[in-house]
Amino acid sequence: MHLTEIHTELGMLMCLKTLLFKEKTPKGLAIVNELLANCAMDAVSGKIVGTFGVWDYVLFALMLLVSAAIGVYYATQERSNADFLMGGRQLSPVPVSVSLTASFMSAIAVLGTPVEIYRYGISFGYMGLTYVLMVVVSAEVFLPVFYELGITSTYEYLELRFNKIIRLFGTVFYIVQTVLYTGIVIYAPALALNQVTGFNLWGSIMATGIVCTFYTTLGGLKAVVWTDVFQIGVMVAGYLAVIIQGTILQGGFSVTWERSQQGGRLDPLSFHPDPRFRHTFWSVLVGGTFVWTTIYGVNQSQVQRYLACKTQRQAKLALYLNLLGLWIILACSVLCGLVMYAQYADCDPLTAGLVSASDQLMPFLVMDILSDFPGVPGLFVSSAFSGTLSTVSSSINALAAVTLEDLIKPRFMNLPEKRLSLVSKGLSVSYGVICIAMAVAASGMGSILQAALMVFGILGGPMLGVFILGILFPCSNDYGAAAGLTAGFLLALWVGVGAQFYPPPVDKTLPLPLNTSGCLWLNQTDSFLNQTIITLLAPTSNGLPPDQPAIASTWYSLSYLYYSAVGTLGVVIVGMFVSVLTGGRKGKEVSPSLLVRSCLPCSWRKSHSDIAVVEKVASAAVPSKPLGKCHTASMGTTNPSFDIGEAM
């Protein structure tokens, strides 16, 4: 039932009540009062939800079938383990760029980002600036190193640069955070959609997990990339349906924009330096850059995609094209949030009790404005679950690659190619089952869901730190990496867990004002309902309770966007300190292929093969003109980063 229908029904009942009151009909008046109370209580208890029709289920099933068909198609083309895990390293930049966009734009983003705009304003939209910094850092710092090494698992680098123990820690960190996060990505949107639309919870979880595991296991990375291309199209179509219909209902985009402006949703981002404020220019730009670089710079799920491109130049192009995709998805999310605010500016469904959690607001909006169009709510659900499928498939494929390269191949080095391919597929099936099981387990976690997402960020920051330590600081050593990784993880865990026990002061995190003045049933029914809503809206004290420690208002109140930065900087600072105390490299120079070459002296930028080729050319003929400074053989032989005798 739409909100307008609720208003109409209540209005008719109120007119009838007035008439009966004038006619002095106590019995009829009692019946009308009961109907009013029931209608209001149904609304407040969240019973006013839409239901799915046949066409909605058809569209959802079609999305799953197309995804599965892509997996079957690429299963016939895949020939080796390298094809399965890395697409034969022959992927083109355009589909890879779309896959990079889709992989972490999960249903959590589809359902959550518009609500972020609705409740806190457009400040999250400035994350588009962060995307630029993240892409530049990933493309110019991390990609060249990983690509030239020709690695499959990102964590192979940690053994080449430090030792096997650091590599093992990195692998375990990644597996834990990815399994946990993937289970939540499957469960959270299914729960939100179930509670608002009546869409079957366990049916959607099982269908999503099974289909995703099916096409990932059959088609490998190529299937994952091309299903991402299809699914990102479905996601954008779902966004556009909401934006277009919501704008039409408001009387045009100018009305939507004006209402959002009046409600403070378009206020510019604050430049306040206090790191405890939820979103400021500094927390979004600095903290957001660390958060997104942990994903695009060193996370296996993303790195594996651009390493599968044909050349390093194409890999960089894929990353930069991905920036356009990220901006499009962010713009759609922001517009959906503004449409949501314009629709509910006078009657907030969350405050009024029409939904029980903020992640139900987007499905509620869809059922409120689109349920009269057969199949369109199904399109939005397909959009949300497309985000889930893209994230889950990327995670399963990456988990299989990491487990094979980091845990199995080092112990079984002589496995034949056919056996490796079978093991990879077996790992994909196993991780698919584990992720579905994690989704089932998440159903009993309650508030642990938020803690699990927090852990994902906490683990990502320290991992970014250890890669920065290795790539940018030649003097860092194994002891520094181990100490820094431990310290960074504990620091991020400390602030993250502390914030769960001692939430930040409400004056730093309070959403923008919302009201229920337009909720007719709240203004025309028994006073206890109004009292309930007033209680919910009443502001709380900004002061800390006397039993909270002083650190609760400082360290534990840090914006969530800084968690990754805390972990990263903790690793780098402690890692460098311990490295210096333990003598640095102790005369053992680092191969330039493990460092950012653009930051090295000219002679350090050469690999052994580069120098061997230059020496061969120099000895074969006298050049017609002197070679440049960076191309002389003597510069290679004096390179202090390795023993040239070994190369020759």
pLDDT in tens, 305-336: 999 999 999 999 999 999 999 999 999 999 99
Paired tokens of 282: 């500094």
Distance from C-alpha of 365 to C-alpha of 348, rounded to nearest angstrom: 11
What pLDDT sits at residue 224? 87
What pLDDT sits at residue 565? 92
CB-based burial label for 510 (10 Å; 0-12, 13-18, 19+): middle
The full set of domain ranges for the chain reads 54-444, 445-504+556-599, 601-647
Residue length, the chain? 648
SS3 string of 8-72? HHHHHHHHHHHHHHHHCCHHHHHHHHHHHHHHHHHHHCCCCCCCCCHHHHHHHHHHHHHHHHHHH
Which of 342, 435, 362 shows the shortest CA–CA distance to 397? 435
Q: What is the CATH number of domain 54-444?
A: 1.20.1730.10
What pLDDT sits at residue 545? 55
Contact status, residue 235 vs residue 89, Cβ threshold 8 Å: no
What pLDDT sits at residue 616? 39
Cα-to-chain-centroid distance, residue 365:
22
What pLDDT sits at residue 25? 57
Q: What is the pLDDT of residues 20-62, one digit of tens each?
A: 444 555 555 455 455 555 555 454 444 445 567 788 888 888 9
> What DSSP string runs through 283-304?
IIIIIHHHHHHHHHTS-HHHHH
Instruction: Write the CB contacts of 598 (distance below 8 Å, at least 6 apart in sequence).
Output: 140, 605
Q: Which residues of the chain have pLDDT under 70?
A: 1-51, 78-79, 195-197, 443-457, 507, 521-547, 587, 598-648
Distance from C-alpha of 547 to C-alpha of 85, rounded to nearest angstrom: 53
Neighbours of 334 (CB within 10 A): 22
Distance from C-alpha of 268 to C-alpha of 123, rounded to nearest angstrom: 7
Instruction: Write the CB contacts of 575 (distance below 8 Å, at least 6 apart in sequence).
Output: 465, 466, 469, 473, 476, 480, 481, 483, 484, 485, 487
Distance from C-alpha of 615 to C-alpha of 630, rounded to nearest angstrom: 13
CB-based contacts of 35-39 (< 8 A; 24+ apart in sequence)? 36/10, 36/521, 36/524, 36/525, 37/525, 37/526, 39/6, 39/9, 39/10, 39/13, 39/521
Q: Global pTM?
A: 0.81
What pLDDT sits at residue 74? 83
